[in-house]
Structure 1
């Protein structure tokens, strides 16, 4: 019953029938790192229910997972684009930073140089600008900043936008072809950027929403819906810290959003609503209930995981037809 009503986890088995709990959307790589960091680092293949599957395959309840390892294998940077657990992400980044540090620095240099060129800024930054950049970040050196970009801890496009802001839209080493940051090409949001990009908890944007990005002082990005009240207030206070963003074309994950229902106080209503949400191919990660003083109506609040606005609209239509539901809407702070 818990799995049906609160499907925020998946429960899979090792070949020796040990149960492993993982977050919804976890992959074979997440499974490998949950067993042991050494197993994750040396993973080369996976068998799910005795059949070979891609490492990025999302696991389902009841899967039997067998990891194939090779002592010469090492983590790939591409794994960061699909792992879900913090343990896996941290272990992969640690390996990339310590074992492949020179390669990470070089890759970060290349990515940042390309991002700067796209903004019309010469990649060779003057020393005073580098000093200001490092002072406003947690990086102790330019090599550390480049390494963070190389392993995916920071987005090159966001660091470049931060540099653009530091020079006030005018570079001493190259002309800028843009009049303002608002005219620059929007940063693409795919939802797999990790800690460098966060979806604002106040409005929980999902694909299909019009969105805007808030540059944080740690050179990360907070993504809001364009009509978010919190974003509008903060934009008045710090107008220079906002940039254009857009959703990517290929989004291979679910996004959380909140819905609120007004329901009749009758037996079985919670189970019927939860079942309909499940039938609509959405995952429930939270449910709460408020009762009115007359005990006639209840207010239900769900946090659900959906693909996009179209998926959410279909879910709302389906739940609205459940007997006992009087009102349903998307909830935002």
Structure 2
């Protein structure tokens, strides 16, 4: 059973005002004095009231909500822009509008935007959660019958639907490819250690280097922010290891681009002096110099799949827990040095 729904009458009683006054405050009417408005807002906060603006509009129009919330943790990463495009293609074709927001890895910001989206009457939420997110943060939506689909980053124990990539096999395949090119010291660069996706990708790395007979060397695992700047920092630290690596599998393409920048600052050319492999296959991977070898997730396809799952639950009129794992594949380009090494064979 969910918690009892707080009503306008409850707020009016708590604030010592009339029901109509509360309604005027919710509508943003200038007819209510500042002191009275403050009392009403305080009562709303104490009671945990969420004003569903969308529902209010629906009561007036008799229509059905056509808004889908999409919350991502880092919109500066091209992966999430492409993911959002994939979501939009699907929801737009179904007559929904995408309400997109970026949290910048802030849990407080995430809570604010999700509350705002709920206030506007979203029909469902698709979210790539900020670091440290507690699955219970989405319990009020689930209790209200609003479907939630977690994408990219899973939330273990959350009992929420999810769409994630096959992270372990993707990284393992990248390591095996580098081994086939003759590399023996292979680093794993980037990623926040407090996210499930980091450990999923690290597990693929660990299993592959162990299977290759190299053993797992903690010194070759260099966490960092999953960004271009983080990649430059991570590769600099990797190069400082006593027996430094000759190749790296990066947490994502942003880290890989940064690693290439960092290598050049050390007068090393990626693809010639040091092999670099990314993860995601964003659009820029094909046009980078050198073109980036990467594990292709196809972010637009992942967005489409997540959108389809969310729409299915919206249409069913209920909340369910369904896990989807999308396949990945290694796309070999120039940054791993394959053409050069193959020519020497």
TM-score strictly above 0.5:
no
With normalisation by structure 2, the TM-score equals 0.23
| Higher fraction of strand | 1
Larger RCO: 1 or 2 (CA < 8 Å, sep 6+): 2
The higher radius of gyration belongs to 2
